[in-house]
């Protein structure tokens, strides 16, 4: 059996370290057993950033987040806790970024560089790291330059080049095609969304970022994207291969998203790390609502954009995680 098939077999059974939130917390010796059974989400902040994204400070913030999440203080050891053996043995790991909002509000290049640096220090070869999104324009908004073939460097490739599967996949009642970067090239993908208000979904972060893996996301936007976001994340190709979230909340827009509106820009100065995509989006929603209240904006329910897809993702049909704060172990560092 190949490394890729062995990886997927292990991931499907939940035995893989990054496949089980409870397993990771217990193995790392973090607040166990008192916090056992709760989804651990780390919110790491550096309030001195405020839009000035110094490389050393962002790297230090990433290290702080990963140390808190894994229980390993040394960065290389922390990363080895979340990188499967198949990746270290030569399989490809992807970073699914988000450049839809344009240069002003996309996954920040300095954070992408920090993750790539730590992955390489943990033993992943540069060419086995692929930064990807829908197309070259979105990648450019994230400060990335296309690199399709040079394996001596981190590769940067859009779905417009790498393509989509020929066979359609049923997502709810919609027929879509999934990106081959997700289903064929990358044994594992790290989800690197950016926190934003969304004109339809209310909040776009971990789960909504997966719209960048389908050929026709326009089919998944009715009814405030509910249940479409949950349906998409429940697909085995997405659920099993996209396990870790390193969410960019260094800057955000609290109104007018998902595109950039500088008048609504604010700086949470945070990274949000975890595996439970539902819990992460629940926390992101609370952060966004707090900012909207502070800015004198109506809450998302009153605006007709409550992100009901989060509860849908947590329901008995989808079982993607929890939106119950009593079952979420939120750690702020």
Which element (helix H / strand E) includes 169? strand 169-171
Phi, psi of 55 (to 5 degrees): -60, -45
d(CA 53, CA 46): 10
Nearest to 113 by CA among 50, 156, 70: 156
Number of structural domains (the chain) is 1
1-43 pLDDT per residue, tens: 344 444 344 433 333 343 334 333 323 333 333 356 799 999 9
Its pTM stands at: 0.90
What residue numbers bound the domain in which 287 lies? 3-332
On whether the CB atoms of residues 107 and 192 are closer than 8 A, the answer is yes
Phi, psi of 126 (to 5 degrees): -50, -45
Nearest to 139 by CA among 94, 176, 169, 184: 94
Which phi-psi region, left, alpha or beta, contains residue 276 (left: φ > 0; alpha: ψ -120 to 50)?
beta
Q: Are strands 270-274 and 242-253 parallel, antiparallel or unpaired?
A: antiparallel
pLDDT, residue 35, reads 59
On whether the CB atoms of residues 226 and 202 are closer than 8 A, the answer is no
Which phi-psi region, left, alpha or beta, contains residue 235 (left: φ > 0; alpha: ψ -120 to 50)?
beta
Peptide linkage before 281 cis (omega within 30 of 0): no
Residues whose CB falls within 8 Å of the CB of residue 294, separated by 6 or more in sequence, listed in order: none
pLDDT 10s digit of each residue in the chain, 333 long? 344 444 344 433 333 343 334 333 323 333 333 356 799 999 999 999 999 999 999 999 999 999 999 999 999 999 999 999 999 999 999 999 999 999 999 999 999 999 999 999 999 999 999 999 999 999 999 999 999 999 999 999 999 999 999 999 999 999 999 999 999 999 999 999 999 999 999 999 999 999 999 999 999 999 999 999 999 999 999 999 999 999 999 999 999 999 999 999 999 999 999 999 999 999 999 999 999 999 999 999 999 999 999 999 999 999 999 999 999 999 999
pLDDT, residue 37, reads 79
Number of alpha carbons in the 13 Å side-chain half-sphere of residue 147:
16
């Amino acid at each position: 059996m190949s490394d890729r098939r062995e990886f997927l077999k292990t991931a499907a059974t939940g035995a893989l370290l990054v496949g089980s939130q409870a397993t990771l917390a217990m193995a790392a010796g973090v607040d166990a057993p008192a916090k056992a059974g709760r989804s651990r989400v780390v919110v790491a902040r550096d309030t001195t950033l405020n839009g000035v994204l110094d490389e050393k400070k962002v790297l230090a913030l990433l290290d702080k987040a990963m140390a808190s999440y894994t229980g390993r203080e040394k960065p290389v050891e922390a990363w080895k806790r979340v990188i499967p053996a198949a990746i270290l043995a030569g399989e490809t790991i992807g970073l699914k970024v988000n450049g839809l909002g344009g240069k002003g509000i996309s996954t920040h290049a300095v954070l992408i560089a920090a993750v790539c640096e730590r992955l390489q220090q943990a033993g992943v070869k540069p060419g086995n790291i692929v930064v990807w999104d829908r197309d070259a324009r979105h990648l450019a908004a994230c400060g990335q330059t296309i690199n399709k073939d040079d394996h001596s460097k981190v590769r940067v490739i859009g779905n417009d080049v790498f393509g989509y599967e020929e066979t359609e996949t049923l997502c709810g009642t919609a027929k879509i095609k999934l990106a081959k970067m997700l289903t064929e090239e990358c044994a594992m993908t790290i989800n690197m969304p950016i926190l934003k208000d969304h004109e339809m979904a209310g909040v776009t972060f971990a789960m909504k970022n997966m719209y960048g893996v389908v050929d026709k996301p326009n089919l998944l936007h009715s009814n405030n994207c509910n249940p479409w976001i949950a349906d998409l994340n429940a697909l085995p190709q997405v659920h099993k291969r996209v396990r870790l979230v390193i969410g960019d909340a260094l800057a955000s827009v609290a109104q007018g998203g998902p595109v950039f509106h500088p008048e609504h820009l604010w700086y949470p100065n945070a990274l949000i790390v975890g595996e439970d995509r539902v819990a992460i989006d629940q926390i992101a929603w609370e952060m966004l609502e707090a900012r909207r209240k502070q800015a004198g904006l109506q809450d998302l329910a009153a605006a007709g954009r409550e992100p009901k897809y989060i509860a849908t993702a947590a329901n008995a049909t989808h079982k993607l995680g929890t939106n119950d704060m009593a079952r979420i172990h939120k750690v702020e560092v």
